[in-house]
Amino acid sequence: MIDSSNNNRKGGRNTRLAHAGHSPREYHGFVNPPVVHASTVLFPDTETMLGRTQKYLYATHGTPTTDALADVLSELEGAAGTILVPSGLAAISVPLLAFCKAGDHALIVDSCYDPTRQFCDFMLTRLGVDVEYFDPVIGAGIAELLKPNTSVVLTESPGSNTFEIMDIPAICKAAHKTDAVVMIDNTWATPLLFKPLDFGVDISIHALTKYPSGHADLVLGSVSANERTWKQLHDTQSALGTCAAPDDCYLVFRGLKTMNVRLQHHEKSALKIAHWLKSRPEVVRVLHPALPDCPGHELWKRDFTGSSGLFAFVLDGISREEARPFLDALELIGLGYSWGGFESLVTLPDLSDRTIALAPQEGAVIRLQIGLEDIEDIIVDLERGFAALAKNN
């Protein structure tokens, strides 16, 4: 008999995704947790009310629905606790606010998600934090940038749009000598392909909007913390009131059940298309962590257990402006931001804000999210793009 109680949810990836986070016996035997729409929680008497001795106090502090999702994520990340926030971007801003104060120095990877840079430049600097960007391939060299007042090192591996894999253990080792908190935006890998806390990271960030949701129908974020950082993160979330909505939490809880199965399909298709692109004369490089061309490929082999469906390629001698007909010719692959859903998407990223991890010199970068469609159809669409490039350039 399968024991689906919370204290027996070990097992492989798919088993844990299927059973973690909810004990059916705690909710009348229903296999899924309830979607609790709430603000007020009632107390039976003043002793409970004033002593705050009840499990749930008010909806901003959590509900059975948010707990179910947070518990799965904590288990997958091996974390002391997880907060849920309204978007992936809030999953970056909330921990930065939790661990930076006026007078601090923050080290941010230069290949970060673009809105992360905007938050740092627009908000953190305004709050009196000295923001400095660093090279994604810096590794142990980060020791030279760490100052006594460095409170945070924010990493993202692979980097947004250019996909550099970072030497996370080396960065953690150096940063912890000066007590800085190391954070990672782990969205690309999901908690399945890389487990940052096992490599020394303190805080792991996810845009649940992407693979955990998997269906392009919501935005949500999570932040998982180790013992050292959990209280400060949790107290900041309580102070800010950045809580997540029940329906979105439920949809992500549901999405997680199939995430590994979906990821395997994304991985297989993306790898096939990456290899196909490598053989195209118009393409000078394919930026996919599982391919040797990608900076940090050896680190990916050492630390990750697989790859997801998002990567990029560099056109040979074609500028960003000249690359536009490629995108405009696509009929199946959508022109749109975000990724991790069922559908293939393309973007033409602007890398002009980079100060260290500069845009590839050879030509424009095109980013692809390979969805769950049949691979032959995706390739036919990409061929349309290349035909339009040839016609227009």
Ligand X SMILES: *Cc1c(COP(=O)(O)O)cnc(C)c1O
Q: Is 85 in the site for ligand X (CB under 6 A)?
A: no
Q: Cβ 180 to ligand X, closest distance in Å?
A: 21
Q: Cβ 103 to ligand X, closest distance in Å?
A: 27
Pairing of strands 310-315, 283-287: antiparallel
Q: Is 83 in the site for ligand X (CB under 6 A)?
A: no
Specify the residue, 221 or 296, whose C-beta has the smaller distance to ligand X.
221
Specify the residue, 92 or 274, whose C-beta has the smaller distance to ligand X.
92
Q: Which of 113, 133, 211, 326 binds ligand X (CB under 6 A)?
A: 113
The two tokens of residue 252 are 């992500």
**Strand, helix or coil at 129?**
coil
Cα separation of 203 and 224, whole Å?
6
Stretch that binds ligand X, among 21-29, 85-93, 176-184, 313-321 (CB under 6 A): 85-93
Q: Indicate the residue whose CB is closest to ligand X.
A: 88
CA-nearest of 205, 207, 201, 206 to 227 is: 201
Q: What residues from 121 to 160 belong to the interface with ligand X (CB under 6 A)?
A: 160
- Alpha helix (H) residue ranges in 215-346: 227-240, 246-257, 259-278, 297-303, 324-328
Q: Which residues, at least 6 apart from 92, have a Cβ–Cβ distance to it below 8 Å?
A: 113, 115, 116, 119, 154, 185, 205, 221
State the amino acid at position 299 in one-letter form: L
Where are the strands (E) in the chain, listed by range?
Answer: 81-85, 105-109, 130-134, 150-156, 181-185, 203-207, 221-225, 283-287, 310-315, 334-335, 345-347, 365-369
**Strand, helix or coil at 138?**
coil
Q: Cβ 116 to ligand X, closest distance in Å?
A: 7
Q: Which of 21, 33, 62, 88 binds ligand X (CB under 6 A)?
A: 88
Q: What residues from 165 to 204 belong to the interface with ligand X (CB under 6 A)?
A: 185, 187
Q: Cβ 54 to ligand X, closest distance in Å?
A: 32
Q: Cβ 106 to ligand X, closest distance in Å?
A: 17
The two tokens of residue 255 are 């999405």
Specify the residue, 172 or 220, whose C-beta has the smaller distance to ligand X.
220
Site string for ligand X, 221-260 (x = CB under 6 A): x---------------------------------------
Cα separation of 67 and 146, whole Å?
36
Angle, alpha carbons 299-303-304 (nearest 5°) = 105
Q: Is 211 in the site for ligand X (CB under 6 A)?
A: no
Q: Is 70 in the site for ligand X (CB under 6 A)?
A: no
Size of the site for ligand X (CB under 6 A): 12
> Under the rule (CB under 6 A), what is the footprint of ligand X?
87-89, 113, 160, 185, 187, 207, 209, 219, 221, 338
